[in-house]
């Protein structure tokens, strides 16, 4: 083991920059002196030496690399069945290529616009109501000051985050049933008595309201952490300048947490076509497909739920993934232009 310290770069002994620079300089010099093939040979030799000296690191990373190769990049490669007519009997490679057939048939289908509309609308509502809710909640909690009451409020409101989705949806199903607790409340307020989950017009409301109920407390943690990181001198200066609480919130607190808001907003934008579809699968039914069916649930039904059109469902899923990726890049680029915050 001691050998490692005497010769060659050690992984921990030197600062990263120094080590890297030195190696790069060395490699560049080697590249100038020898031909390209020899340079590659030298790189292989370096890797071989590296392996010998740090073989345990290689042992450690092996299962991780295998996992990512098999379960992350495997399905990515498997997604080429979107361009084939995949039949189990003919196998993955033997199935015939069909180009963009499945994509085109999806774009032409009656469902395309309905799915796009539902997915985008539901996400738009989430962005409009569910996204700002924890920010406002964090700002309000912050005004309570350090006290037992503050901790109590936080403890209680974080709790729903840990309740399983099945239980949450089970509670929703019970509460908005024909004789449910929430239905009772709405009837008392003057609405006609019906089973709310059977009516397409209520689906989005139920989804968004229950989402806020479950996530507003938990979502506020990250903003509270950001608020506690704001320099207190800024508030003192604002007070001296005569700013009241409201102006301090607008001019000090909000700008202070803006970077984290932007980061979360970009991530949200990159998921505009993605939605918590597990919850939809638990709450929707054929009556409410008109408003509740989104791309993800459609992929599930076409591929695994009702029929087994593997290639078609994969194509729809791939379409969604590509659009999501493009949206993420656009949102990130936009944010880098208008502010200092970006993902990369």
Partner 1 sequence: MHVIRKSKGERIFQGANTAFMLFMVVITLYPFVYVVMSSLSDSRQLLSHTGTLLWPKGFTWEAYKLVFQNPNITRGYLNTLIVVVGGTSLNLLLTCMGAYVLSRRGVPWAPKLMLIIVFTMFFSGGLIPMYLLVNNWLHLGNSLLALIIPSAISTWNLIILRTSFGALPDSLIESARIDGAHDFTILFRIVIPLSMPVISVMILFYGVQHWNSWFQAMIYLRERHLFPLQLVLREILIQNSTEYMMAQGDADVESVGESIKYATIMVATLPILFVYPFMQKYFVKGVMIGSIKG
Interacting positions 160-179 with partner 1 (CB under 8 A): 160, 162-167, 169-171, 173-175, 179
Which residue reads 């590249």 in tokens? 31
In whole angstroms, give the CA distance from residue 185 to residue 62: 57
Residue 97 three-state SS: strand
Please name the residue ranges forming H helices in the chain: 3-6, 16-33, 36-53, 55-67, 74-78, 91-94, 101-108, 111-125, 132-142, 148-158, 165-175, 181-188, 200-228, 232-240, 245-248, 254-269, 277-283, 289-292, 295-300, 310-338
Which x/- pattern, by CB under 8 A, does the window 70-109 give for partner 1?
xxxxxxxxxx-x------x---x-----------------
| Binding span for partner 1 by CB under 8 A among 105-113, 114-122, 123-131, 157-165 | 157-165
Query: Distance between alpha carbon 186 and the CA centroid of its chain, in Å?
Result: 34
Question: What is the total count of residues that contact partner 1 (CB under 8 A)?
Answer: 104
Per-position x/- string for 28-47, each x denoting binding to partner 1 as judged by CB under 8 A, each - no binding: ------------------xx
Q: Which stretch binds partner 1 (CB under 8 A): 54-62, 94-102, 110-118, 198-206?
A: 54-62
Site string for partner 1, 268-307 (x = CB under 8 A): --x-------x--xx-------------x--xx--xx---
Which one of the spans 103-111, 116-124, 149-157, 198-206 is the region binding partner 1 (CB under 8 A)?
Answer: 149-157
- Closest approach, Cβ 5 to partner 1, in A, equals 7
Token reading at 168:
């949450």
CB of 271 to partner 1, least distance (A): 10
First CA to last CA distance, the chain: 38
Binding partner 1 (rule: CB under 8 A), the pick from 121, 140, 191, 250 is 140
CB of 237 to partner 1, least distance (A): 15
13 binds partner 1 (CB under 8 A): yes
Helix 200-228 to helix 132-142 angle, to the nearest 10 degrees?
A: 40
């Amino acid at each position: 083991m001691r050998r490692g310290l005497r010769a060659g770069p050690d992984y921990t002994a030197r600062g990263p920059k120094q080590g890297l620079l030195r190696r790069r300089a060395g490699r560049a010099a080697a590249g100038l002196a020898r031909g390209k093939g020899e340079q590659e040979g030298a790189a292989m030799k370096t890797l071989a030496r590296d392996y010998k000296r740090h073989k345990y690191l290689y042992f450690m990373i092996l299962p991780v690399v295998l996992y990512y190769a098999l379960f992350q990049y495997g399905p990515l490669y498997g997604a080429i069945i979107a361009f084939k007519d995949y039949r189990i009997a003919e196998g993955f490679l033997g199935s015939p290529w069909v180009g963009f057939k499945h994509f085109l048939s999806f774009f032409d289908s009656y469902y395309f616009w309905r799915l796009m509309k539902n997915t985008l609308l539901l996400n738009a509502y989430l962005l409009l109501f569910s996204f700002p809710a924890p920010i406002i909640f964090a700002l309000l909690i912050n005004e309570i000051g350090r006290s037992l009451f503050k901790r109590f409020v936080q403890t209680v409101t974080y709790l729903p985050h840990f309740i399983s989705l099945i239980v949450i949806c089970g509670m929703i199903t019970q509460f908005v049933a024909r004789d449910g607790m929430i239905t009772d409340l709405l009837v008392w307020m003057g609405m006609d008595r019906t089973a709310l989950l059977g009516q397409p017009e209520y689906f989005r409301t139920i989804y968004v309201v229950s989402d806020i109920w479950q996530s507003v407390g938990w979502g506020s943690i990250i903003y509270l952490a950001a608020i506690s990181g704001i320099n207190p001198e800024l508030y003192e200066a604002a007070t001296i300048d005569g700013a009241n609480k409201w102006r301090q919130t607008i001019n000090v607190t909000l700008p202070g947490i803006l970077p984290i808001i932007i980061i979360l907003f970009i991530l949200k934008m990159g998921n505009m076509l993605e939605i918590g579809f597990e919850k939809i699968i638990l709450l929707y039914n054929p009556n409410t497909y008109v408003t509740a069916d989104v791309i993800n649930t459609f992929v599930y039904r076409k591929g695994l739920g009702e029929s087994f059109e593997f290639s078609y469902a994969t194509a729809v899923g791939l379409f969604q993934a590509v659009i999501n990726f493009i949206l993420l890049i656009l949102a990130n680029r936009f944010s880098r232009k208008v502010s200092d915050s970006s993902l990369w």
